[in-house]
Amino acid sequence: MNIHRIIVHEVQKEPNRKDTKLVLSDQLILLSAESKRLVTELSKSYTSDKITYGIFNLEPSSYFPDRFNQYNSILSYEDETFIDLTRDQISGIKTFISQKNFAKGGYFLFTEYESNGTEFYAIFLLRDTAGNTLRRVGSTFEVNSVEYLDTNHLAMAFRLNVPNFNKKEGNYISFTNRKQPDVSEYFTDWVCATKLESSTDFTKKLYDIINEIPLPKNPKTGKEYSIDEVRNMVYDHAKSNGQKNINLKSLSEHIYGDEGIIQDFATNNDIEIDTEFRFDRNVLKKFIQLSISVDGIRLNFSRNDLGTKVRRSEDNPNAIIIESELFVNKFKVESESNV
């Protein structure tokens, strides 16, 4: 990770009060080992959580994205330009946070960094860090050396994928920790986010697509793969990505030998799915097949059938119920033929 700039502004507000005060910084935080480690740990915390994706609402009154677009259009800029951008953007938050009765303030850390070849503009909202991680010194903040960062202090995070924003490709903004309603409402309003969908939504949509899209052929045999084979291919491809992302072009190339097949199917069937998204680990498990071999019995089935076609008996803890007409018919044929 290559960190370019860091600055922190403080928003002071107590729950059940409308009074909101901004304490703005005039200088960047020094890029020390401690400050770089802080941003690195915050980024790790961000990528380990469930994420909601979206785009900017680019209506004329949308100040936050408009201000970033002005900044982003400058070919060469100094640190002061970044400082002005963050001060202008954080100033707009007073309107939103003061209207939320239960909302409270915190430390807003703005940063620009590059990770895995992609440039990001991110904002992390930290709470309860005074005297621990962040300490105000003059017109800026100092990052204290700490053994570890308590990620519970991360109340909210926003990240903008700059290359995707420039190309207007996919859902180029994302959020994490939207489980805190006092934060998520004013935060998403403040940055003018719209068309929000979660990593869970996208992973479920991918599962539906894989179940509906024509099966690919095995290039070695010329025969179609089974649906369980394709599901396993999706699962293995996703898990092999160290960033825990699914890129539809890469996945389509891996399965079909053509990077456009999956996205074209989604488009033709009016399925809105991002071209790249973090997968939901629990939903991803639906793709893999369970295989159980014990006591002379071997059972293979899709995890998606667990709890429906294959489930534990409520009456007998040692019994498994398999509810499938096709399986019963096949069982009858096989059992009667061996009599």
Angle at 216 between CA 237 and CA 251, to 5 degrees: 25
Separation of alpha carbons 186 and 209, rounded Å: 34
Which pLDDT belongs to residue 214? 94
Separation of alpha carbons 141 and 83, rounded Å: 13
Tokens representing residue 232 in the block: 């396993």
Pairing of strands 21-23, 154-161: unpaired
Which pLDDT belongs to residue 122? 96
Whole-structure pTM value: 0.68
Which pLDDT belongs to residue 112? 96
Tokens representing residue 328 in the block: 């019963």
Question: What's at 305, amino acid-wise?
Answer: D
Q: Around 28, how many Cα atoms within 13 Å sit in the side-chain half-sphere? A: 20
Say if residues 299 and 291 touch (Cβ distance below 8 Å): yes
**Taking the domains of the chain in order of start, what are their residue ranges?**
2-191, 199-284
Each residue of 274-302: pLDDT tens digit?
Answer: 888 888 888 888 888 777 888 888 888 87
Low-confidence ranges of the chain (pLDDT < 50): 130-131, 146-151
Say if residues 244 and 237 touch (Cβ distance below 8 Å): no
Long-range contacts of 182-189 (CB under 8 A, 24+ apart): 182/15, 182/100, 182/102, 182/103, 182/104, 183/103, 183/125, 183/155, 183/156, 184/156, 185/100, 185/103, 186/93, 186/96, 186/97, 186/99, 186/100, 186/103, 187/125, 187/156, 187/158, 188/54, 189/96
Which pLDDT belongs to residue 179? 58
- The answer for 296, left when phi > 0, alpha when psi is -120 to 50, beta otherwise, is left
Which pLDDT belongs to residue 23? 92
Which pLDDT belongs to residue 245? 83
Each residue of 189-236: pLDDT tens digit?
Answer: 899 988 888 888 889 999 999 999 999 999 889 899 988 889 989 999
DSSP states of 230-292 as a string?
Answer: HHHHHHHHHHT-TT-EEEHHHHHHHHHS-TTHHHHHHHHTT----SEEEPPHHHHGGGSEEEE
